[in-house]
Amino acid sequence: MNADVENNDWWAGSFITLVAYFGSAFVFTGRRQGKREEIFSVKKMELGGAFNVVTSIFLVLLLVTIVTAKKSGDVTELQIGVKFKPKSCELQAHKGDRVSVHYNGKLTDGTVFDSSFERNDPIEFELGSGQVIKGWDQGLLGMCVGEKRKLKIPAKLGYGENGSPPKIPGGATLIFDTELVAVNGKKSSADSEL
């Protein structure tokens, strides 16, 4: 490649754009300290036939990878983050317990699809019995009354590939901020002593 470069300090603050399109490459001008100046002559470089095929395959694979790439917030396994845990944990949620849970549910892009906090009405269900999505049945086990957890639930433990239209698209990772309010109607250890 022939470079028409007047001096060697062009690297400072400059960029080169190299565009590969099915075996042909073009080198364009760059920028240095905010001024446009020619770094390389604009030249079309014809490359060998074998390279054309390899470049074509690479570009197709790159395009497919970009198009099918999952969002960065997607997860493949359940992730449980403890945001707050009370000093004493005398009441824990176990399989078969009737639990009361406040939650805020959102998608990875931040879109809130449901919130018991907004309604001031926690959901009640039997833990581990399939009354809620699997990510909840698994993610709330062992939780203490008053504890707050963040659950990142993959689609396979949420609503699957079909989603729950119109608010939850197919294949969506779900993020829940949860707070365990009560276990079997008891909100604290003081309730169990009554």
| Active site residue ranges | 103, 113-114, 133, 159, 176
Percent of residues in the chain assigned helix, strand, coil, to nearest 5: 20, 30, 45
73 three-state secondary structure: coil
Query: b/e per residue, 63-93, with b = 16+ CB within 10 A?
Result: eeeeeeeeeeeebeebebeeeeeeeeeebeb
The residue behind tokens 């001031």 is 120
Measured CA to CA, the distance from residue 126 to residue 100 in angstroms comes to: 9
The terminus-to-terminus CA distance of the chain in angstroms comes to 86
Region for 36 from its dihedrals, namely left if φ exceeds 0, alpha if ψ lies in -120 to 50, beta otherwise: beta
